[in-house]
Amino acid sequence: MEMATGSPMQPPIKGQDSLHPDGQYSALAKWFHWLTVPLLFTALATGLVIRFMKDDAKMPFYALHESLGLLILGLALARLAWRGIARPPALPDHLPRAMRAAAAGVHHALYAALIIQPLLGFMTTNAYGFPLQGQTAFLGFIDLPKFMEAAPGLANVLHWGHSLIGWAFPFLLAAHIGGAIFHHAIRRDGTLLRML
């Protein structure tokens, strides 16, 4: 694949080639992104159905939901650390300022939600008196330490916060996915290709 070269006035864009006119994310950043996608959709789906299940069938779903949440948290923290080491390509100059601001806002909100949501969930289960041990152990067999005694009042507050962010996720994902489709199908620029 032939690498594009920058003009004498402008250095080449990181990762730029014929398939990625606006540069691209590193291979590891792409792996972090695409591993997060199925984990997040499965976590959202299990979170939605738990409340409708009979009590005797809930524990496996709680274990899966909570394990997925902590995996997502780990991936999000690793992604942020990697961004500090391998900076992603800058947004292309051809994007209007409003689109740059919208993209930055959605990305920041998604990163915040990917970190805050699992933390709230982990604290909520502990506050309800159900640490990730036994039937709800992390990944089904790793007991995590209990870090607080049951506190039902605090648990209710934490649960509300966890639920609010959970309901915000579909809107953030719709904005993120919709933006990618808009850039690829309507603007026909290289924005989506940066992550492929």
Q: Give the closest residue to 110 by CA, choosing from 193, 161, 65, 171.
A: 171
- Per residue, the 3-state secondary structure of 72-126, as one string, reads HHHHHHHHHHHHHHCCCCCCCCCCCHHHHHHHHHHHHHHHHHHHHHHHHHHHHHH
CB distance 178 to 6 below 8 Å: no
Q: Distance between CA 131 and CA 17 in Å, rounded?
A: 49
Task: Report the predicted TM-score, pTM, of the whole model to 2 decimal places.
Answer: 0.85
SS3 163: helix
Q: What are phi and psi of 182, to 5 degrees?
A: -60, -45
**Environment class of residue 115 by beta-carbon count within 10 Å: exposed (0-12), middle (13-18) or buried (19+)?**
middle
According to the model, what pLDDT value does residue 1 have? 41
What pLDDT, on a 0 to 100 scale, did the predictor assign at position 186?
87
Distance CA 178, CA 81 (A): 27
Please count the residues of the chain. 196
- Write down the domain spans for the chain: 27-195
Burial of 83 (0-12, 13-18, 19+ CB in 10 A): middle
The pLDDT tens digits for 45-73 are: 999 898 888 888 888 888 899 999 999 99
Confidence (pLDDT) at 189: 80
Q: Distance between CA 46 and CA 40 in Å, rounded?
A: 10
Structure tokens of 107? Answer: 């990305």
The predicted pLDDT at position 5 comes to 46
pLDDT of residue 3: 43
Residue that has been written with the tokens 């990762």 in this structure: 15
Q: What is the pLDDT of residues 70-105, one digit of tens each?
A: 999 999 999 999 998 988 888 878 888 998 899 999
